[in-house]
Amino acid sequence: MSRQTVLGKGPIGRTLARHLADAGHEVRVLSRSGPRPGTPARTTTAAGGSIEHHRVDGTDAGALVRHAQGAQALYNCVNPAYHRWVTDWPPVADALLTAAERTGAVLVTAANLYVYGAGNRHMHEDDPLATRETKGRVRAQMWHDALARHEAGALRATEVRGSDYLGPGAEAHAHAGPRMLAPLLAGRTVRPIGSADQPHTWTYLPDFAAALAAAATTPDAWGRPWHVPSPEPLTFRSLVTRFARAAGVPVPRIAPVPMAAVRAVGLVQPMLREVAAIAYQFTEPFVADDTASRRALGLEPTDWDTVVATTLAAYRAETPGRAA
């Protein structure tokens, strides 16, 4: 099997590293913190793959080049805090482009749907990147820069765009992660942001990892973006109902947090200020078409019953005291 290099060890980076190692690959995970305290820097899987953690500054192109030498793919799974995208993303993106160009590794970026902007209620990969919002414009520029170098023959690049994710490993900030599951299982009111009744695409973390890995090894996928194959869109209310029934608990009361309240708190809280800037994602239909990517990448999304069951099992295993 081949060497793979993953920059970032958040939920997407961790899930991807495990997916690649389970396929027998040698995976290097690069992050600012390196291996977690008290854990080995290198682990192996039953399939013969391995995951090796290294402490690396993502803006250090030289370090990225050293760790990506001989790698089949270099995956960008970094995710700075929302309010730091303007300052933190450009130097990391530039370093990744340099590393991909110098090593020949395929640059595969884990991206999102912000680039399309408000008003696009059924998104396709060939839609214009029309966002006027700052975070979306940062991500759009990253893709334009990577595509320009790809088309010039300097490197090979592709981008895989997912929606709000859920699944094992989702962290506290995920809209369908612990902030939904904790009150749901405790019988308390669930408070989504915006509306609970607009259709929304939800991306399962293992499906995100599978799409990234497939894009890296599919030459026809290079030079264009793809949407992660995801199960059929659900409103937040329908999502909560599915989880409650699967967990064997009453469907909880749902009381959305009005965007006016989010904007008010955002005056003093930078992260919520950035959430308010993408309010349309929570108050309008937010659906990604994945027809092209299913065909090109040869993937189908995990069905909702499996998504719900595995997500519940993982959450209960991680928080046994709170999720009995």
In this structure, the answer to whether residues 159 and 193 fall within a common structural domain is no
* Confidence grade of residue 324 (pLDDT, cut at 50, 70, 90): very low
* Confidence grade of residue 103 (pLDDT, cut at 50, 70, 90): very high
Q: Is residue 168 part of a domain?
A: no
Beta carbons within 10 angstroms of residue 249's beta carbon: 13
pLDDT at position 38, please? 83
pLDDT at position 234, please? 98
Q: Is residue 83 part of a domain?
A: yes
Q: What is the residue-wise DSSP string for 247-266? A: HTSPPPPB-PBPHHHHHHHH
Each residue's pLDDT tens digit, 246-281: 999 999 999 999 999 999 999 999 989 999 999 999
Each residue's pLDDT tens digit, 23-78: 999 999 999 999 988 888 999 999 999 999 999 999 999 999 999 999 999 999 99
Q: What is the pTM of this model?
A: 0.96
pLDDT at position 153, please? 98
Q: Is the pLDDT of residue 117 over 50?
A: yes
pLDDT at position 191, please? 97
| Residue 229 to residue 289: CA distance in whole angstroms | 8
In this structure, the answer to whether residues 136 and 242 fall within a common structural domain is no
In this structure, the answer to whether residues 32 and 145 fall within a common structural domain is yes
Residue that is written with structure tokens 């904007």 in the block: 263
Task: Report the CATH number that the domain containing residue 10 is assigned in CATH.
Answer: 3.40.50.720
Give the mean pLDDT of 123-146. 98
Give the mean pLDDT of 121-144. 97
Which is it for strands 50-55 and 42-44: parallel, antiparallel or unpaired? antiparallel
Q: Is the pLDDT of residue 237 over 80?
A: yes
In this structure, the answer to whether residues 93 and 115 fall within a common structural domain is yes
In this structure, the answer to whether residues 103 and 188 fall within a common structural domain is no
In this structure, the answer to whether residues 114 and 183 fall within a common structural domain is no
In this structure, the answer to whether residues 273 and 128 fall within a common structural domain is no
- The mean pLDDT of the chain is 96
Percent of the chain with pLDDT over 70: 98
- Going through the chain in order, the beta strands assigned E by DSSP cover 3-7, 26-31, 42-44, 50-55, 71-76, 106-112, 122-123, 157-162, 164-166, 202-204, 225-227, 287-288
Q: Is residue 170 part of a domain?
A: no
In this structure, the answer to whether residues 108 and 183 fall within a common structural domain is no
In this structure, the answer to whether residues 61 and 184 fall within a common structural domain is no
In this structure, the answer to whether residues 65 and 210 fall within a common structural domain is yes
**322 phi/psi in degrees, rounded to 5:** -100, -15
Give the structural domain span for 185: 178-197+234-285+308-318
Q: How many CA atoms lie within 13 A of 29 on its CB side?
A: 28
* Confidence grade of residue 321 (pLDDT, cut at 50, 70, 90): low
In this structure, the answer to whether residues 250 and 266 fall within a common structural domain is yes
pLDDT at position 307, please? 98
DSSP symbol at 284: S
Q: Is residue 171 part of a domain?
A: no
Q: Is the pLDDT of residue 104 over 70?
A: yes
| Residue 215 to residue 292: CA distance in whole angstroms | 12
Give the mean pLDDT of 289-296. 98
In this structure, the answer to whether residues 210 and 249 fall within a common structural domain is no
